[in-house]
Structure formats: structure tokens, C-alpha cells
Amino acid sequence: MPLIGLIANNPNVQFDPRKFIWLGSSSSFAGDAYILMVRPDAAAKSIAAARASAGPPLVLAGTGEGARDGDVPKILRDALGLNIKQVLGYPDTPSIFLAVERGEVDGRMFDFSSVKANQPQWLKPDSGFHILLQFARVTRHPELPEVPTARELAPTAAARALIELAETPLLTMARPFAAPPGVPDDRARTLQTAFLAAHRDAEFRAEAARLGVDISPVGADDMARSIEQVTHASPEAFDYMKRLLASHRGN
């Protein structure tokens, strides 16, 4: 949403994300990753195979245009040269888990934490499932040391810049909380302090761990810096995201 507001190419978007009172984000993806995972009989079982334009495309499920699982594969296709075909319109993640199990699609981009919580059998060494890359990671996830990050796979500086811009929302705004513009400063500071205090609460963190939810909070100041950083992205990466977001308006 901050990126949509900054690009400002949609007349229906009437907000400036820099004017919101950001309280923080529950996750910086520090303990998570957004992974490209495919089933044992997928058309491509490695990045090299997924980049082969002559072979059959890797068929990935998604919920819809504008959703993370709809947009990130497009970015990876264009930045890394992946041969991808998308099947969008699934209502939710459980239905996509089922579609992958049934062989309707080759795979999807998933939160690693979601797979661990809901389909742990996919992660067993003998499952036949493959994780081709991890997105929204500056470095490799400690539980996925053999899986390259999208940044590592970028063939050019321009491709890496695009990936870094696309990753910014997940790294700093994966689960954001905000108050409207105009909240008095003292009240804003109280809300921001309370937000971080809640995320340090032992009972809260224990419940999140039980549910498999990553809790790695980002403070308001870091969120504000991240939003400002987006405004200084390379013109080529910014223009790409502008075109991608503009393509959603007809859907």
C-alpha cells in the first residue's frame, strides 16, 4: 500500500503514505522467507530449468492480480528470466495447498512459516518437493542454507535493484499497523511505544510461536525510513513497479 500511494498513478488512490502515523510492523521477515516451492513432478525442479525458455513453463498458483502471490512471480519472471505461467483466482492459501497436492499447478510462492505450520511433510528430505529460491531475504534463511536468494540470482545490477525495491515492503512492512494522519504527537508516541511493548510480551510471543507466526517487530522510525528509501529507488525499478501496478486497474 505505501508503494501504491507513492507511485500515485491511480486516481482512486488518494493518500500519501508519508503522512500516516505508522505504529510499526509485526514482522521484518527476519525469521521467515517468501519461497518459490514446487511439487515433485513440476515442469522445473531447479532455477536453471526454470530459466530454460524452450521447456514447458512452471505453472504457479495465485489468488489474484495485485496480490503478493500474483505480483512477485511476475517480478521474478522479468528480473531473473524465469519461464512462468500463472493460474490466478484461487480464494485462499488452503485452496492453493490443495491445488498443489492434486497436481493442478506446479507450485506457488509461499511464506516459509506457512509451509512449516500447514504442510510440514513437504519439507522432509524424501518428499520430492523443491524450494527453488527465497525472496524477501537479504541473506539466506538459516534453515535454508542451500537455497539461493533472489538477490543472489539477479543477473544484472538493474535486476537486483528491482528485486530490492520489491522486497522492501516485506522486509519492513510485512504486517503493518498505522493510525490516521493528524494524531497528536504525544498520543502517537504512546501508541508506538505500546505497539513494541506488546510484541515483547512473553505470552503474546508464545502464542505466535504456537501458530507459526513470525514476530520480528519493526519500529515506526524504521518504517518511515523504509518508505522514504522507496522514493529514492532507481528510476528504472520505480517505472517497472508503476507499470505493474497500473496493469491492475482494469481487474
Residues 7-16: contacts with CB under 8 Å, at least 24 apart:
7/238, 7/241, 7/242, 7/245, 9/242, 9/245, 9/246, 10/245, 10/246, 10/249
Mean pLDDT of 116-138: 96
**Whether 170 contacts 223, CB under 8 Å:** no
Mean pLDDT across the chain, nearest whole number? 91
User: Is the confidence at residue 99, as pLDDT, over 90?
Assistant: yes
Task: Write the pLDDT tens digit of every residue in 148-183.
Answer: 999 999 999 999 999 999 998 888 888 899 999 999
**Residue 143: which of 35, 54, 5 has the closest Cα?**
35
Instruction: Report, as an integer, the average pLDDT of 94-117.
Output: 95
pTM, two decimals, is: 0.84
Q: How far apart are CA 18 and CA 224, in angstroms?
A: 7
Q: Classify residue 19 as exposed, middle or buried by CB count within 10 Å of its CB (0-12, 13-18, 19+).
A: exposed
User: How far apart are the C-alpha atoms of 221 and 207, rounded to whole Å?
Assistant: 26
DSSP state of 149: B
Least confident range from 13-27, 84-98, 124-138, 174-188: namely: 13-27
Checking if the pLDDT of 3 tops 90, the result is no
pLDDT for 7 beyond 80: no
